[in-house]
């Protein structure tokens, strides 16, 4: 099995606008393989709650959320503990109410920052079966939707963060132990 590396923030692919996936291609081998590789790369990271395709070097509009890590991190999440796949996502509603939340990224090791995000958003996308879906979210999932759609537009959280700090070696070790 080919294991895709997660790209570091210096990589120019992370700064490109990702290309929409033609709907007829979603069921095809290529797209399904990309989704599988995204899930594999994400699941090797203990804190990998979501990943966007450009992070594994594929400039396509796809992101994946780990439902099981999301459930662990946010008790208010009542959805399935499986991987959630979003293709050609579009945020169609965002609350005016915003909150400053802590954020990190698998491509920006090991920095964290505070980013202002809408507390509620509605996302329209296609799932891995090519079905059109619309999903409202609050809490961590709303934050993830905004972070991942930013990735697909070439934006990293550090572009928006007001405060950015680096995790200490102890904090990183603690995270790896979980």
Catalytic residue IDs: 148
CA-based angle 135:68:19, to the nearest 5? 50
Q: What are the tokens at 40?
A: 């594999």
CB-nearer residue toward Ni ion: 105 or 137: 105
Cβ of 145: how many Cβ atoms within 10 Å?
27
CB-nearer residue toward Ni ion: 130 or 172: 172
CB-nearer residue toward Ni ion: 31 or 156: 156
Site string for Ni ion, 101-130 (x = CB under 5 A): ----x-------------------------
Q: Taking a C-beta distance cutoff of 8 angstroms, is the pair 48, 35 a contact?
A: no
Site string for Ni ion, 66-105 (x = CB under 5 A): ---------------------------------------x
Q: How far is the CB of 11 from Ni ion (least distance, A)?
A: 13
Which H or E run contains 57? Answer: none
Q: How far is the CB of 148 from Ni ion (least distance, A)?
A: 7
- Residue 168, judged by CB atoms within 10 A of its CB (0-12, 13-18, 19+), counts as exposed
With CB atoms as reference, the residue minimizing the distance to Ni ion is 105
- The residue ranges that bind Ni ion (CB under 5 A) are 105
């Amino acid at each position: 099995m080919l294991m895709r590396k997660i790209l570091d923030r210096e990589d120019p692919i992370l700064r490109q606008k990702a290309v929409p996936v033609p709907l007829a291609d979603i069921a095809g081998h290529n797209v399904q393989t990309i989704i599988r590789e995204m899930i594999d790369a994400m699941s090797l990271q203990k804190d990998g709650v979501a990943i966007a395709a450009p992070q594994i070097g594929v400039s396509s509009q796809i992101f994946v959320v780990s439902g099981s890590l999301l459930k662990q991190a946010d008790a208010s999440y009542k959805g399935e503990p499986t991987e959630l796949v979003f293709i050609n996502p579009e945020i169609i509603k965002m609350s005016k109410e915003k909150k400053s939340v802590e954020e990190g990224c698998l491509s920006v090791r090991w920095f964290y920052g505070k980013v202002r995000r809408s507390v509620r958003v509605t996302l329209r996308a296609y799932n891995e079966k090519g079905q059109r879906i619309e999903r409202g979210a609050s809490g961590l999932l709303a934050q993830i939707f905004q972070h991942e759609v930013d990735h697909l537009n070439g934006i990293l959280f550090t572009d928006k963060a007001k405060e950015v700090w680096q995790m200490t070696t102890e904090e990183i070790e603690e995270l790896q132990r979980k």
